[in-house]
A and B are shown apart, each in its own frame.
Chain A
Amino acid sequence: GQQLNQSPQSMFIQEGEDVSMNCTSSSIFNTWLWYKQDPGEGPVLLIALYKAGELTSNGRLTAQFGITRKDSFLNISASIPSDVGIYFCAGGSYNTDKLIFGTGTRLQVFP
């Protein structure tokens, strides 16, 4: 099935550093979503984007809906140990009831 290309696959950073990850698709989407998953838990919605060019923040997290509607970016500023987890992007379209998920970015933060 279709999946979004998410990069990087994994990141090992030091506490306090900023983080950037992105998601790209060959198809356009009307919605971009970013989720975080902690070990043993379900994905939790971080940010939802509904309009091309939209830039939305949630605390230290900022996400953008790409102008082409084929990509999205998530930035985390001043990382802390609790940012550890797997981050997933997902794209949605008006003509389907389904989301397409990225393969995930695994983030490790070292003190």
Chain B
Amino acid sequence: DAGITQSPRHKVTETGTPVTLRCHQTENHRYMYWYRQDPGHGLRLIHYSYGVKDTDKGEVSDGYSVSRSKTEDFLLTLESATSSQTSVYFCAIRGDRGLTDTQYFGPGTRLTVL
């Protein structure tokens, strides 16, 4: 158990509404990641954080923003949700074994945008 929780686990929302997903870790890890998973695309990186208030974009960052004001929490925001953002969202933390570290995933949030 990597000590990662995501909330909510399921959400249905309407196009144009803002949505915030939360990732919480209890392990005090520096690196946290947000991915989306879609059929045929596997896991794609949205944004990641390498410390409090330090974030960077991934390959599919358009339409998403993130914030990290505390080590334990990493928030993903969809400012104005679109149907193309219907997906399963996973948060991950990075272990601390050297320069290239393993990542451990949360249970996921299933988001449906109508």
Mark A residues whose CB is within 8 Å of B.
1, 3, 30-31, 33, 35, 40-45, 48, 50, 88, 90, 92-94, 97-99, 101-104
Contact = CB atoms under 8 A, between A and B. Distances in A.
A30 B102 CA distance: 11
Residue of B40, B58, B98, B102 with most chain A CB atoms under a 10 A cut-off: B102
Contact of B106 (A30, A42, A88, A104): A42
A41 B50 CA distance: 25
25 contacts: A1-B44, A1-B45, A1-B60, A33-B102, A35-B105, A40-B108, A42-B90, A42-B108, A43-B105, A44-B105, A45-B103, A50-B97, A50-B98, A50-B100, A88-B42, A88-B43, A90-B103, A94-B99, A94-B100, A97-B31, A97-B48, A97-B50, A97-B56, A98-B45, A99-B103
A103 B45 CA distance: 14
Q: Is the interface on chain B under 10, 10 to 19, 20 to 34, or 35 or more residues?
A: 20 to 34
B102 A41 contact: no
A102 B44 CA distance: 10
A44 B106 CA distance: 9
B107 A41 contact: yes
Interface in B47-66: 48, 50, 56, 58-60
Contacts, number: 56
Given A88-B42, A97-B31, A101-B42, A45 B58 contact: no
Given A41-B107, A93-B100, A104 B90 contact: no
Given A31-B100, A94-B100, A97-B48, A42 B42 contact: no
A94 to B, nearest CB: 5
Contacts of A102: 42
Given A43-B90, A92-B100, A94-B100, 9 more contacts: A1-B59, A31-B101, A33-B103, A42-B105, A42-B106, A45-B102, A97-B31, A98-B33, A98-B58
